[in-house]
A = this chain, B = another copy of it.
Amino acid sequence: MKARVEISLRPGVLDPEAQTIERSLASLGFEGVEHVRRLKVIELDLAHQDRAAAEKAVEAMCERLLANPVIETYSISIDA
């Protein structure tokens, strides 16, 4: 089974990297670009047979390692 985790910063948390990319695009002459946001995606293959179990496992991985709940939120999708 394949899982995909999308991790994004909680709203309001400063993202200096996105800001810098936005400014850099502007200085390269790209106009009208706004609200640059960055997300991280982690994809992985799972040995699980059961979709619900897989989802639970990935959720546990997010809580324990993949995401930093203090400043990030995540969403999981499972592809059987």
Residues of A within 8 A of B (CB): 6, 18, 21-22, 24-25, 28, 30-48, 57, 60-61, 64-66
Report how many copies the assembly holds: 2
**CB closest chain-B residue, reference A31:** B47
Partner of A45, one of B33, B38, B60, B61: B33
Q: What separation, in Å, do the CA atoms of A65 and B33 have in the docked complex?
A: 14
> Known interface pairs A30-B57, A32-B48. Does A40 touch B43 (Cβ–Cβ under 8 Å)?
no
Interface centre among A28, A36, A37, A44 (most CB of B within 10 A): A44
CB–CB A42/B48 < 8 A: no
Q: What separation, in Å, do the CA atoms of A37 and B4 have in the docked complex?
A: 9
